[in-house]
Amino acid sequence: MQLKVDGHLAIEGGDPVRTRPWPTYDKGAVFVSEEDQNAGLRALRSRLYFRYDCRPTAQTETGRLEAKLQSYFGVRHALACHSGTTAIALALMARVEPGSVVATQAFSFAATPSAILLAGCRPLLVEVDDDLHLDVEDLRARYSPEVKAVVPVHMRGFAAPMRAVMRFADEVGIPVIEDVVPALGVSLNARRLGTFGVAGAFSTQSDKSINTGEGGFLLTDDTELFARAVVYSGAYEGRCARHFEAPSQVPICDLDYPIFAFRMDEIRAAVAASALDRLPLRLKLQRSVYGRVSRGVADLAPITLRRPVAPGACLGESLLFRVRDGRDGAAAWFARALRREGIDARNLGDPAESNIRCFWNWRFLFPGRSVSEIKALLPRTTGLLEETVDIPLAPTLTEADCEDAVLAIRKVAAQLDMTASRSRRFKALAPARLQAAGSSRLTWPVVPRTQSLPPPAS
């Protein structure tokens, strides 16, 4: 194999580590099987697309999916719905008075505060800790009796510190609704995420562990919350009773609640139920991809990998690390250099981008405030996001893809770390496996950097 790598960073005119596009879900790098496709076709051919049709629930695709979810997660109730956003909103609508303050973390996808707004509540943002997990001490500091629920987010596949979150929530008597959208299938201390709080909200959008294009589901053991969520999701004229063994078990009157058409349809449900059968395999692949890449860069001094709250408590869909360089714009430069090497990478807090995972880009929450005023509200999270690089890792990455990611990160890190002898450093940085294979990448000459860190683009 001809490897086109020299010591020049691609950003400085050298050869990139790879020229093929980095595989991501939006370029078709998805874990989809023929069984999933056949399941979707079966639902299409049935001509019955609406979940509440003439068939008994157990014979519908949606009913079967919900039964499978109950058993997979060991929960009393499961409701398939429209999306992760609506799953979070349904749980809040069913449990919290409109107008309440709901706490969540400042590092999430904009959909989390959006779901809080959709439920008619007001988000309160809380700092994250050095590993980008919800900081429970900051939650305590910002808490007031107006706060009626907390939504921890298992962000980018990493479990939130659920023991500490639950302890605090129990202490002040508020429910916890988990945003498990990015971490479907992950466990923390042998317990599945989404089963710690009063409800767990999941997505089946295309880059999630179950892919139905769009979609989501809600899990809970709270029967009243469940019944309300079912009605809110669009179960009208007694259809809520189909989720119970007998109408007498429905603990609410459906006419007391509005309906929002957040239902899942039969086609998506058929695909989701099929994908759930192979979720363990998908999780295994994802773990192995993450293990390969993270082990390959774990020793690099200029970067610090995000740590999970407990061993294995992360999905592995994303490699996140902080660039510990001290110079402003170092992480933005690092991500840009990686992109030029052929690896999709983003500096979360890059001022040249409007990354929707940065709270200062949730301008809908802060009308009339400037970016610097918004950043100053959560300075710790701001600093961390500005230092963090995020690389998406599809479960379908090959060994060669993983190797490219490792080489590119090592190449850019080596260039950043200028203090020691460059050639000695590269030899030390080159993976032993490649050295043993006599890869031509080992001939990567070390050249002086021709370009200093550019200032962040405005």
Ligand X SMILES: Cc1ncc(COP(=O)(O)O)c(C=O)c1O
x/- mask, ligand X, residues 271-310, rule CB under 6 A, reads ----------------------------------------
* Rounded Cα distance, 432 and 440, in Å: 13
The only residue of 40, 161, 216, 329 in contact with ligand X, by rule CB under 6 A:
216
Q: Whose Cβ is closer to ligand X: residue 83's or residue 286's?
A: 83
| β-bridge pairing 199-203 and 318-323 | unpaired
Contacts of 62 (CB under 8 A, 6+ apart): 51, 80, 264, 265, 266, 269
Query: Considering beta carbons, is residue 108 or 286 the nearer one to ligand X?
Result: 108
Binding mask 29-68 for ligand X (x = CB under 6 A): ----------------------------------------
CB 157 within 8 A of CB 315: yes
In the complex, least distance from residue 155 CB atom to ligand X, rounded to whole angstroms: 6
Nearer to ligand X, 52 or 202 (CB): 202
Number of chain positions touching ligand X (CB under 6 A): 15
Cβ neighbours for 319, distance < 8 A, ≥ 6 positions apart: 290, 293, 294, 297, 305, 390, 391, 393, 405
Figure out which of the listed residues 205, 220, 294, 396 binds ligand X, where binding follows CB under 6 A. 205
Least CB distance from residue 194 to ligand X, whole Å?
A: 12
Q: Is 200 or 302 the residue whose CB approaches ligand X more closely?
A: 200
| Interface pick for ligand X out of 181, 235, 271, 330 (rule CB under 6 A) | 181
Q: Which residues ranging from 375 to 434 are in contact with ligand X (CB under 6 A)?
A: none
The CA distance from 103 to 119, in Å, is: 13
User: Minimum distance between the CB of residue 291 and ligand X, rounded to whole angstroms?
Assistant: 23
DSSP per position, 115-162: HHHHTT-EEEEE-B-TTSSB-HHHHHHH--TTEEEEE-B-GGGBPP-H
Q: Judge contact between 228 and 252, C-beta under 8 A.
A: yes
Task: Decide whether 182 or 431 has the Cβ nearer to ligand X.
Answer: 182
Stretch that binds ligand X, among 77-85, 192-200, 320-328, 392-400 (CB under 6 A): 77-85
Q: How far out from the chain centre does Cα 259 lie?
A: 28
CA nearest neighbour of 47 among 267, 215, 236, 212: 267
Contact between 134 and 153 under an 8 Å Cβ cutoff? The reply is yes
22/217 with CB nearer ligand X = 217
Residue 112 or 415: the one with the smaller Cβ distance to ligand X is 112
| CA 359 to each of CA 200, 205, 376: distance values in angstroms, whole numbers, following the listed order | 22, 22, 11
Q: Which is nearer to ligand X, 157 or 431 (CB)?
A: 157
Task: Provide the minimum distance between the beta carbon of 353 and ligand X in the complex, in angstroms, as a whole number.
Answer: 17
When the beta carbons of 207 and 417 are compared against ligand X, the nearer one is 207
> What's the min distance (Å) between Cβ of 108 and ligand X?
5
CA dihedral 67, 71, 76, 81 (to 10 degrees): -50
**Cβ at position 260, least distance to ligand X in Å:** 14
Tell me the backbone φ, ψ of residue 111, rounded to 5 degrees: -65, -25
Query: Within 151-180, which residues bind ligand X (CB under 6 A)?
Result: 153, 155, 179
- The nearer residue to ligand X, 262 or 334, going by C-beta atoms, is 262
Distance in Å, CB of 86 to ligand X, minimum: 7
Q: Phi and psi of 305, rounded to 5°?
A: -70, 145
Which listed residue (182, 234, 308, 395) binds ligand X by CB under 6 A? 182
* Shortest Å distance, C-beta 357 to ligand X: 8
Separation of alpha carbons 73 and 191, rounded Å: 9
Between 100 and 205, whose beta carbon lies closer to ligand X? 205
Find the shortest distance in angstroms from Cβ 110 to ligand X.
8
Residue of minimal Cβ distance to ligand X: 84
Residues in region 78-137 near ligand X by CB under 6 A: 83-85, 108-109, 111-112
- At 151, which amino acid appears? V
Asked if 355 touches ligand X (CB under 6 A), the answer is no
For 51-62, the DSSP string reads: SSSSS-GGGSHH
Comparing CA positions, the residue from 243, 282, 186, 292 lying closest to residue 65 is 243
Please say whether the beta carbons of 215 and 272 come within 8 A: yes
Q: Which residues bind ligand X (CB under 6 A)?
A: 83-85, 108-109, 111-112, 153, 155, 179, 181-182, 203, 205, 216
